[in-house]
Structure 1
Amino acid sequence: MQYTQRKRGYRYRFIQRSNCSSSSETEIKKQYGKDNLSFTRFWGKILIKITTKRNLNMSDSENLILIAKEYGTPVYVYEEERLIERMNSLTSIISDDKFKLLYAMKANENPIIVSTINRNGFGMDACSIEEIELAMICGADSKEIFYNADCLTLDEIQYAFNKRVNITLGSLDAIKLVCNNFPGSEVIIRINTGIGSGHSDSVVTNGIMSKFGIFPSEIGVAMKLCAEQNVDIIGLHSHTGSGDMSAEIYVENARALIALSKRIPSIRILNFGGGFGFDYENHAEYDINYVYDCLTDERQKQNINDEVLFIIEPGRYIVADSAVLLTRVCSVKNNEMRSYIGLDTGYNHFPRCFYYNAWHDITNLSSCHHTLKTYDIAGYLCQSGDMFARERQLPETCVGDLLCIKDVGAYGFSMSSNFNLRCKPAELMITCEHKIKLIRRAEKLNDILSTCNMD
């Protein structure tokens, strides 16, 4: 039995032996090279210190193989350094105090990740009262939490006002609910400018087919309703959609929102949403500089007061490439037409490929074969659509090989489910100190059944 840990850039391998003799040391030195090893005996084990001095990181396949051996599969592995790099890439450009960055929690709401992002100066975009609660548990100030949910109930609105978070209303009915029950309050109104885009039709959030926001033609009605009950419209919000790589569309929508805001004298917040694209296949960078420059210019062109806060809500952009999903090959099947790889995970753990036909790079960390074969890569669910990739080329793959599904940090675990009564996997983080931290243990059946009445 063996497992592996890392500490201060060194790799430690524990090998269980019944007799820790000098002959055992000789045998091990043959395997690892005598100059790279030092030994400590304790409780029938030999502690081997392999002095490679390589940092533990997500890009090193050997590291991931060792992590999978110790923690099992499937398992999510995050890298804290990459998470911080992505945040810094935003804050180095958008450093103006006339802007505020919020993290879209729905992309990944693991508490350790939310806490890390909060500590780096981001506010929080919450889409449920549960996300509001988590944001506050993770240290977020209520003034920097923006509640952007849809189809609000009176209880949810009451909760948001009690917690003193910023609340966004996306329908005339929601506006009426606030006006009738919370006169004298302050609200942000979501506008559907008609300018929408996204990586899939199902994530486009502006346009005639979208359920979100009120249309510009309804702004007058909203203003009248609010004026009658002394409700101040302090902000406008609009969001084009998720994952589109076109910075031009983002800016076009922002220009439209800025123009509409001039109709409302009380405006002091303009929230342009998030949705910055992430190129999963080619890793082209989204043009943040263009967005920042255009919004700054537009403030001047449209004569917007410097006290009006511009808000941007990235989610995917921050967390997408901060994680991989490690999974074992359980079967390799061949028929007359295709070859299938079957994994020990499914879309219950990572649903993007199933929901959106999304492309994610998948590599075989175990195979030493140079010959490439074409495979369909399938999950383990009793559902024909449980496929991670079709006609993907990989080195010749065998049962037991370790595969790595990349760029799974956004809308992965946060959209996972218990379909087929399958338990959710563990989440690990490689910290900035290059240590492994368990940030969520693997789920057990008792966790799922704990909310059920079994009588």
Structure 2
Amino acid sequence: MNKNISYKQDQLFVEDVAVSEITNSLRTPFYVYSRTVIEENFGRFKRSLEGLDSMICYSVKANSNLSVLETIAKLGGGADVVSLGEYKRALIAGIDPRKIVFSGVGKQDFEIAEILKSSLLQFNIESVSELEMINKIASSLNKEAPIAFRVNPDIDAGTHENISTGKADNKFGIPISDAVEIYQYASKLEKIKIVGIDVHIGSQISDLNAFRQTFEHLEKLIYELKNINIELENIDIGGGLGIKYTDDDLEPDLQEYGGLVKRILGNLSCRIIFEPGRYIVGNSGILVTKVLHSKMSQNKSFLVTDAGMNDFSRTALYGATHRLIPLSKKKRGEEVYDVVGPVCETTDTFLKNYLVEKAEEGDFFAFLDVGAYGAVLSSEYNTRPLVPEVMIYKKRFEIVRTRPTYDEIFDKEAIPTWE
């Protein structure tokens, strides 16, 4: 565990706040984030880039809570967004629009138009069709659109197939073999300003060799573009660095990663853009839950928690494993459980055959390392309200997203009157 999420006298603390103190006033389940952990992760990442002309554009999709984005803004970070909503979140949180890149394979015309009326660093374009749409919208507004092309290098990043994005059969980017021709075409469009190139090969990557191959492909392509007088300002190399969820996970060496970037891309006279998400916020968060029931079924013990797959879906989506620990060590010994939620789906299972402190109904536990792709993927399935989010900084905590009431949920809907 991170030093800022640890036990003190058998009680789980996040920074200087006992998590049990929050359960006294806030019903579980809820997320808790450590601002200090986010700051430390950002600082560590930034230090690994010393000597590079670089910009960190935090991947908003990892955790888009305004309190997280405000922390990133205060640290001088930018944002990688994939929707107009994320763009607006970044602005509200204080992120400079000139540090925002707009990614995503399915940008819509109204999103492009509104952002062009404001400002951004670049659109990361993923198809010729998108290029032509942006040029048409920019022409209608008499605006110049700064663009980069996301290239697909056809590299297997060795990660889960659901979070692989750099192989030829993934939906992302343009084939790297077509890139020179497409850049030439774009250079002739009136309202298109070519400013960069973009790549992102996947998420939760531990093998730096995949990055090395990708960077070498980029270097070769950039020299090919120089030979036809297309000069780039930005090289956006995405994110993807993995973190350690379990003892078996490998965590890439950050200094080695930074050195790799410097060695291959550092002498190309371009700014290097990084889009870390999970690395910045992943280990900053916990999901606090309460044991509803302990039950036996054919020689198997189940712990039923009040957190469900609608609150935290990584296990159902990716087969991810997140460690579970008690908020208060009761020293009752340990037992093997299947840890499940209350949602009416068999996939609402967090852990199988998991050894943890023996639990009783009403005990509180925490899932670790849920700061990324946790709350952002939650839903109201089974008409379960979205859970609160809490930010802790030193000795203080604040609720940074409230739980909606049932009336607030129902008010978004209507029963038609057909008469």
Q: TM-score, normalised by structure 2?
A: 0.90
Distance 1:378 1:55 in 2: 24
Percent identity over the alignment is 25
- Please tell me whether residue 73 in structure 1 is matched to residue 28 in structure 2: yes
In the TM superposition, what is the alpha-carbon distance from 1:379 to its structure 2 partner?
0.5
Distance 1:83 1:55 in 2: 22
Moved >4 Å (runs of 4+): 52-56
3-state SS of the aligned residue for 2:25? helix
1:172 alignment counterpart: 128
* Residues 236-265 of structure 1: CA deviation (Å, up to 9, x unaligned): 100010111122212321221122122222
- Please tell me whether residue 293 in structure 1 is matched to residue 259 in structure 2: yes
Distance 2:112 2:327 in 1: 49
1:270 alignment counterpart: 235
* Residues 150-184 of structure 1: CA deviation (Å, up to 9, x unaligned): 12222222222222212111012111222344355
The equivalences for 1:374-385 within 5 A come to 374-385=336-347
In the TM superposition, what is the alpha-carbon distance from 1:55 to its structure 2 partner?
12
* Residues 181-213 of structure 1: CA deviation (Å, up to 9, x unaligned): 435533111100111425410110011221000
| Residue 365 (structure 1) aligned to one of 327, 330, 335 | 327
Aligned residues: 398
- Please tell me whether residue 124 in structure 1 is matched to residue 88 in structure 2: no
Q: Which amino acid aligns with 2:165?
A: T
Q: TM-score, normalised by structure 1?
A: 0.83
- Give the alignment's Cα RMSD to 1 decimal: 2.2
1:442 alignment counterpart: 403
Distance 1:145 1:93 in 2: 21
2:278 alignment counterpart: 316
Instruction: Please tell me whether the aligned partners of residues 175 and 222 of structure 1 are also in contact (alpha carbons under 8 angstroms).
Output: no
Distance 1:445 1:266 in 2: 55
Distance 1:398 1:220, change over 3 A: same
1:413 alignment counterpart: 375
2:3 alignment counterpart: none
Distance 1:156 1:336 in 2: 54
1:222 alignment counterpart: 182
3-state SS of the aligned residue for 1:206? coil
1:18 alignment counterpart: none
In the TM superposition, what is the alpha-carbon distance from 1:284 to its structure 2 partner?
5.2
Q: Which amino acid aligns with 2:268?
A: I
**Gap regions ≥5 residues in structure 1:** 1-51
- Please tell me whether residue 208 in structure 1 is matched to residue 168 in structure 2: yes
Distance 1:159 1:364, change over 3 A: same
Instruction: Please tell me whether the aligned partners of residues 176 and 225 of structure 1 are also in contact (alpha carbons under 8 angstroms).
Output: no
3-state SS of the aligned residue for 1:114? helix
3-state SS of the aligned residue for 2:238? strand
Distance 1:426 1:337 in 2: 35
2:393 alignment counterpart: 431
Larger CA Rg, structure 1 vs 2: 1
* Residues 222-249 of structure 1: CA deviation (Å, up to 9, x unaligned): 1243133233321110001011112221
Instruction: Please tell me whether the aligned partners of residues 316 and 410 of structure 1 are also in contact (alpha carbons under 8 angstroms).
Output: yes
1:136 alignment counterpart: 91
1:105 alignment counterpart: 60
**Gap regions ≥5 residues in structure 2:** 1-7
Distance 1:224 1:87 in 2: 37
1:241 alignment counterpart: 202
3-state SS of the aligned residue for 2:315? helix
